[in-house]
Structure 1
Amino acid sequence: MLKPTNPALEKIVLFLHAHFATAQSRVNKSLYMAKQNALFRRYALGDFRELVKEINIDPAMLWWLDGQSNTRRSPNENYARELMELFTLGVFDFAGNRNYSQTDVKEAARMLTGWRIREENGTIESYFDMNRHDRNAKTIFAPDSSETPLQNPANTYTEAATNDASVAVDEHRRLIDAIFSHRDTEGRPTAARFLVRKLWKFYAYDPEVDAGTTRQDLQVIDDLADVFVASGYKIPAVLRAMFLREEFYAHRTRTVKSPVEYVIGSLRMLRARKTNGLYTFYDNLYLLGDQGQNGKGGMGQMGQTLLDPPDVFSWKGNQYWITSHALLQRAIFAARACARNWFTPTKAPIKIERLLPGGSLPRAEIVDRLLRLLGPLQVDPATRTALIDFLGPADPINVRDLDVKVYKLHPLLQLILMLPQYHVH
C-alpha cells in the first residue's frame, strides 16, 4: 500500500478484505491470511463470482467461519449464513422481502460439507473429503410460506444425490452459480444489486444516510448492477461506470476516510521515506503494526487493524471512524508524521524540501501549494488566513532555513493533517 504499482488494485483488495471480513486474531495463522490476501489480488480484476467460489474453500475462511467442521453428521451453518447475508444476497431485497429462508441456509450448509484443511511442509491447502460430505439431494430457494412466500420459483435449484466424489467436489461451485442466478421479488439480479450497493457505499456514499435511499439512488445501483452482470461480474467494469456517473461527484459523496486511507494516504502524499535511527517511519509499529496502548498499533487505535476486522460484519466505517479517542490518535499520528528533530534533521521521514521548491516563497503560496498537494483541500477564507498567519510576519520566507522548517513548515503540515476537510474524501 505504501509504494503500490497499482493504487486502484490496492483499494479493491482493501474492499475485498472488508467484504469477506476474516480476522487474524481468531484464525491466528499468518500463512492463512497471506494466502487469502493473495487470493484477493488474483481475482480483484477478475470474475467476482469465481472469487466467491474460491472463498468457499479458502483455508482462512474455512477456519474463520467453521467450514472445516461442517460435516454430514454435524452440519455447521455459520459460513452458509454469512455467505448469503453478508457476501452475496443480503437478507432483504430493495422491496423489503426476504431473499432466502432458514431452510436455504441449512441446505446450503449441506452443499458445503466435506472441506478440510491440510498443512504440510510449510504449505496449506484445502481438500475435499467425500466421507464427510452429505451425499443426499438438496434444494435451495424454494418458496417458503412463512419466510419467502414471494420467492420466484425460477430461483429454485436442486442438487441431485450422488456418491461420485468427482461430482460432489464441485457442489459448492454450483451453489454459487445458483446464488448469482437468484432474482429478487422485483425480478432484478439480487447478488449484483447487493454487491454494487456495497461498492457504491465504499467508494461514494452510503445511500441509507442523509434521509434514506432515494429512487435516484436505486436507479444508479440498478444501472451499475446491469454493468456488473454484463461484464461477467468484473469489479473494474463497475468502477469504471461508477466514476463516470454524475452522482458520484455529488456533495453527498463526502465520506470520512478510514484509518488506512488517512495514514497510508498521508504517507504517500507527503512522500515519506524509510529512514534509520529515531524515525524508522515505515517500520514504526506504533503507526502501522501491533504495538502501542492496549496492544494495538496506531491504525488500530484509530479503529482499524488491517487483517483483523472486529467481526464478520467488518468495520462500520464512515461516521463511526470519528470518535474522541480516534481523533486523538489521528492527532498523535499527524504530530509524529510531521515531526522534524532539530538535532537529527536527516532522520525525518517527511521533508518539506520534497514538497516545496527551494528559495524564498510567499506565505500564501506555501499554504496554497500544500493544500493542493494534500487534497486539493477547499477551506474557507478564515481558515486559509489562519494558516498563512501561522507562518509568522516575515513574507516571503526561506523554505530551506532549518529553523523555518522545524518551527513553521512541519507544524503547518501537522495543522493541515488535522483540518476537518482532510478527514473526508
Structure 2
Amino acid sequence: MDGLSYKQASKFLDAATMGIKKGDVEALLVNDDRNGWIDQQINLSYTNHVSQTLVQQQQRGQTTLTQEMRVCAWFDLALQDEAQLRQRVAFALSQILVVGDRDAQLAPYPLELANYYDILTTYAFSDYKTLLYHVTRSPIMGHYLTMVGNLPKSQTGVNPDQNYAREIMQLFTIGLNKLNPNGTIYLDQQGNPEANYDDADVEDMARIFTGWFMSNSSMNAPMEANDVYHDMESKEVLGESFPAGVGAEQELDHVLDVLVKHPNTAPNISTLLIKRFVTSNPTPAYVGRVSSVFKQTDGDLAAVIKAVLLDDEVNAEGSLFRAKLREPILAMTYLYRALDSKPGAGATITPNAMLYQDTFGQYPLGSPSVFNFYSPDYLPMGGLGEQGLTAPELEIIDWNQTVKMSNIAWKLVTDNGYKTSSNSSGELYPDVSDFVSASGDYSQLINLIANRFFGGEVPTDLAPRFEGLWNAKSDNNKPYSVSAMLYFAFISPNFMVQE
C-alpha cells in the first residue's frame, strides 16, 4: 500500500496518462498501489496506430489516406485507449527517436508513419537496445536520416553518409558531452567538458551503417542487409574495435550493444524521460537513481519508467525541481479526457485534429527537424533562465499559440458543452452533466473542478475568481457558470504548470 493522498494519486496519473478521466484517481486510491497499476498497464492489450488510421479512412469513406487521418487516429487512442501508460511512453519516445512528416520524403506516407509509431508503441516497455534495433531498421528512419542504401567508399569513391551515424550517438544514445552517472556534465582537470566522440568515430560509425536496403521497396517492412554493399573492413568506434569480415547484421548488433552500454546513455536517456514525464529540472540525485536502474537492467524500459514515475521526487512540493509546463497537445488531451469528450452524432472516431498544425505548435511525428519541437535544454529569458532552469516546452509557446488553443477550449466547453441532442459527427462533445448538476451548490461544483483539474485542491489565488464567475450568474442561470469556470481552470497557470 502506498498511502497516497488524493493529490499524490492525481500527480502520478497526470504524469502517467494522456489526461485524468472521471473516476481515475478514486480507482487508484482504492488499490493504493502505483507499482501494480503500472504492471497492469504494461500488460493491457492496446490498439495499434496503423489499424486505427485505417478505421479513420474507412469511416470517413475516403479513397486517399491522409496525414490528418493519422493524427486523428493518434487522438482516438490518446483519448480512448485503455493502455494509457503505453500511449504516453510512446509519445515521449517519439520526441527522442524523432522522424517527421514535414520531410518531403515522408509526407506521402501517413500509414507508414503510423507503422513507425507502432514500433514505439510495441517496444515501449522492451529493453532500449531492442527498441533501437527496430527503429534503426525502419525504412521511415532510413529515409529520414538517409541511411537507406548507404554504400561504402569502395563502391562510390566517397565516404558513406554520416547522418544516422551522427544522430544515433548525439540524440538517441550517448549525447554530445560526457556525463557523470547523475546526469551532470563531466569536467576535465581544466574544468572543461569533454566530447563523447570525434569525427573519426562518426566516420567509422557511418561505415557500420552501410549495406541496408528497403525490402521489396516497402516503406513498412524492416530494411534488409546486403553484405555485398556493406563495408567489411575493420573499424573502431568509441574505443571499441570492430574486426574485418563482419556482416551488417552482426555489426548492427555489436554497435547497438556498445551504444546502450556506454556510460553516457543511461544518464542521458534517463534525463530525457524524466523531463518528458515529471519535471523540466530533475535533481542530480533523481537522475542518478533512474540512471542506475537503466544500467542495472541493460536499459529495460519498463523498469526505467517505473523508476521515473515512482521516485520520491514525483511528490515533492514547493520545489523548483518539481515542475514542468504542459506540452500544448497534452494539455488538450487532458481537457478532452477530463470532460470525457466523445464524437457527436454516434460517430466513433475523432472527427478533426483541431487545426493541429496551426494550433498546438506540435503534433505526433510532426517535428520540423530531428531535434524535436523544442530543445530539452531550452533556457527561457527571464527569471527561469537567470536561475539556470530549463523550460523546454516554452520554446514553442507564445501568445499566438496560446490564444488559438484557448479558442478551441472555449468552443469545446461553451458551444459543444451544452449540446446534448443536436450535435454533429464533425465535432467532439464533452460531458459536463455532473458539473451542471452540481452548479446550484458552489461548494460541490468547485470540489468537482478541483478534483478534475487541480489534484483535489483549489489554488488559493484562483478561489475568489472562481467564486466571482459563479456569483455572476443568477440562481436560475447557475448552469451557465460551468463553461466559464471550466475554461478558466484550463487556461490558468496553476493547471498549465505541473508541480
Q: CA deviation at 1:221?
A: 1.7
Q: Determine whether 1:282 maps to 2:350.
A: yes
| Matched AA of 2:97 | F
Residues 125-204 of structure 1: pairs in structure 2 closer than 5 A: 125-141=222-238, 156-162=239-245, 167-182=247-262, 189-204=263-278
Task: Quote the Cα distance in structure 1 between the aligned partners of 2:116 and 2:164.
Answer: 16
User: Residue in 2 aligned with 1:324?
Assistant: 399
Judged with a 3 Å threshold, the aligned counterparts in structure 2 of structure 1 residues 341 and 326 are, in CA distance, closer, same or farther, namely closer
User: Residue in 1 aligned with 2:177?
Assistant: 92
Task: Quote the Cα distance in structure 1 between the aligned partners of 2:361 and 2:467.
Answer: 33
Task: Quote the Cα distance in structure 1 between the aligned partners of 2:410 and 2:457.
Answer: 22
**2:113 equivalent among 1, 21, 33:** 33
**1:117 equivalent among 200, 214, 220:** 214
Provide Cα deviations, 1:181-226, integer angstroms capped at 9, x if missing partner: 33xxxxxx2111111111122122233xxxxx8xxx2233222211
Task: Quote the Cα distance in structure 2 between the aligned partners of 1:376 and 1:413.
Answer: 15
Helix, strand or coil: the match of 1:5? coil
User: Residue in 1 aligned with 2:454?
Assistant: 375
Kept after mapping to 2: 8 A contact 1:32/1:124: no
Rg larger in structure: 1
Judged with a 3 Å threshold, the aligned counterparts in structure 2 of structure 1 residues 200 and 139 are, in CA distance, closer, same or farther, namely same
Judged with a 3 Å threshold, the aligned counterparts in structure 2 of structure 1 residues 260 and 112 are, in CA distance, closer, same or farther, namely same
Task: Quote the Cα distance in structure 2 between the aligned partners of 1:299 and 1:376.
Answer: 31
User: Residue in 2 aligned with 1:267?
Assistant: 336
Judged with a 3 Å threshold, the aligned counterparts in structure 2 of structure 1 residues 245 and 345 are, in CA distance, closer, same or farther, namely closer
Q: CA deviation at 1:356?
A: 3.4
Task: Quote the Cα distance in structure 2 between the aligned partners of 1:253 and 1:343.
Answer: 37
**2:100 equivalent among 12, 20, 23:** 23
User: Residue in 2 aligned with 1:235?
Assistant: 301
Helix, strand or coil: the match of 1:118? coil
Task: Quote the Cα distance in structure 2 between the aligned partners of 1:121 and 1:52.
Answer: 20
Helix, strand or coil: the match of 1:198? helix
User: Residue in 2 aligned with 1:302?
Assistant: 360
Helix, strand or coil: the match of 2:221? strand
Judged with a 3 Å threshold, the aligned counterparts in structure 2 of structure 1 residues 344 and 241 are, in CA distance, closer, same or farther, namely closer
After TM superposition, the score normalised by the length of structure 1 is: 0.81
Task: Quote the Cα distance in structure 1 between the aligned partners of 2:359 and 2:417.
Answer: 28
Kept after mapping to 2: 8 A contact 1:119/1:125: no
**Which structure has the higher relative contact order (CA within 8 Å, separation 6+)?**
2
Show structure 2 runs of 5+ residues with no match.
Answer: 1-77, 179-184, 187-192, 375-391
Task: Quote the Cα distance in structure 1 between the aligned partners of 2:393 and 2:220.
Answer: 38
Judged with a 3 Å threshold, the aligned counterparts in structure 2 of structure 1 residues 110 and 382 are, in CA distance, closer, same or farther, namely closer
User: Residue in 2 aligned with 1:254?
Assistant: 323
Superposition CA RMSD, Å: 2.6
Q: CA deviation at 1:16?
A: 0.8
Task: Quote the Cα distance in structure 2 between the aligned partners of 1:137 and 1:122.
Answer: 31
Q: Determine whether 1:423 maps to 2:423.
A: no
Kept after mapping to 1: 8 A contact 2:439/2:481: no
User: Residue in 2 aligned with 1:80?
Assistant: 165
Kept after mapping to 1: 8 A contact 2:280/2:323: no
After TM superposition, the score normalised by the length of structure 2 is: 0.70
Provide Cα deviations, 1:374-415, integer angstroms capped at 9, x if missing partner: 2326554452122122123678x57xxxx544x322232122
User: Residue in 2 aligned with 1:352?
Assistant: 432
**1:107 equivalent among 199, 204, 218:** 204
Task: Quote the Cα distance in structure 2 between the aligned partners of 1:20 and 1:391.
Answer: 46
Task: Quote the Cα distance in structure 2 between the aligned partners of 1:281 and 1:386.
Answer: 36
Task: Quote the Cα distance in structure 2 between the aligned partners of 1:34 and 1:341.
Answer: 30
User: Residue in 2 aligned with 1:364?
Assistant: 443
| Matched AA of 1:70 | N
Q: CA deviation at 1:105?
A: 0.7
Kept after mapping to 2: 8 A contact 1:340/1:410: no
Judged with a 3 Å threshold, the aligned counterparts in structure 2 of structure 1 residues 382 and 228 are, in CA distance, closer, same or farther, namely closer
Provide Cα deviations, 1:339-376, integer angstroms capped at 9, x if missing partner: 236995422711321x3384763123212211211232
Task: Quote the Cα distance in structure 2 between the aligned partners of 1:111 and 1:394.
Answer: 69
Helix, strand or coil: the match of 2:446? helix
Helix, strand or coil: the match of 2:471? coil
Task: Quote the Cα distance in structure 2 between the aligned partners of 1:414 and 1:357.
Answer: 14
Kept after mapping to 2: 8 A contact 1:254/1:424: yes
Task: Quote the Cα distance in structure 2 between the aligned partners of 1:343 and 1:196.
Answer: 44
Task: Quote the Cα distance in structure 1 between the aligned partners of 2:82 and 2:357.
Answer: 23
Q: Sequence identity, in percent? A: 20
